[in-house]
Chains A and B, each alone.
Chain A
């Protein structure tokens, strides 16, 4: 499942990169920092990416997830710190959904 999630995120990155300035484009790797110190995205860039990821995850798994999270803007625990933490977070949501 994790590989499929990462692939979905990478497709979302491709999509979001189209609207980012060249210097802000994101690399397709689990280590890519997204938001917070060392990250390329401002809050609007984060919105663009998150919405693309929601869409790709829904298309890949047929399960719509809302990635809105209270901790989104927190530097320590935000699921949006990097691609890896985002994938973890999506895995949790999809599992919760499957068990609901």
Chain B
């Protein structure tokens, strides 16, 4: 068994992140979460940092604090993410920047700082968040899908860089799950998207935690650099 049971999860205020925070606390983990706004809920075994995942100084400070409180961490789930559905001709550069800041820079920073706390124990699990929008090459999601393509590339390369430290790096690529993230996507567009999946239904929170469980499992120490797309994308 790993020495530490601490899991850091980003974007835990709502949506999939909130579910995962509660799910892993229930499984007996110590969960450290974060989001730009306060969590709005209290749980024993859960602590929250209010920060933007792309703010280097705040992220470094958070991990310094986590190191002083817990010493080591076992898992990192890079769930925080934002999307924007818009034709590229109508997308301001600022939007693209925001998306890349959260999805790519945030993921990079958290991987880097978490790996530092996993390395001494030669044991760690990093799970990043991809999306089926990337393999589906969805029109209207150029910025979002390409930011997640970058996350996949990061996952594959960090898997190699961190392998000698006993840290695995993998990604889960959910299908649409009913959260605020996709609230603004028109219904017909959503059903056309779901039609492209092998299994034609919305994803549920438990579908996501099931894949995260697999990567987090101490026995998954020979699985790295992989992306599991849900729904048969």
Check A66 against B61 for contact (C-beta < 8 Å).
no
Check A64 against B60 for contact (C-beta < 8 Å).
yes
Q: Say whether A51 faces chain B, with CB atoms less than 8 Å apart.
A: yes
Q: Which of A54, A55, A66, A68 has the most chain B CB atoms closer than 10 A to its own CB? A: A66
Q: Say whether A58 faces chain B, with CB atoms less than 8 Å apart.
A: yes
User: Residues of A within 8 Å of B, CB-based: how many?
Assistant: 10
Chain A nearest Cβ from B189, distance in angstroms:
41
Check B119 against A66 for contact (C-beta < 8 Å).
no
Which interface class (under 10, 10 to 19, 20 to 34, 35 or more) fits B? 10 to 19
Q: Say whether B116 faces chain A, with CB atoms less than 8 Å apart.
A: yes
Check B116 against A64 for contact (C-beta < 8 Å).
no
Cβ contacts under 8 Å, B112 to chain A: 68
User: Contacting A64 at CB < 8 Å: which of B64, B119, B164?
Assistant: B64
Q: Say whether B141 faces chain A, with CB atoms less than 8 Å apart.
A: no
Q: Mark A31-63, 1 if CB is under 8 A from B, else 0.
A: 000000000000010000001001100100000
A binding-site residues for B, Cβ under 8 Å: 44, 51, 54-55, 58, 64-66, 68, 100
Other contacts beyond A64-B61, A64-B64, A66-B60: 9, CB < 8 A: A44-B164, A51-B116, A51-B119, A54-B116, A55-B67, A58-B64, A65-B60, A66-B56, A68-B112
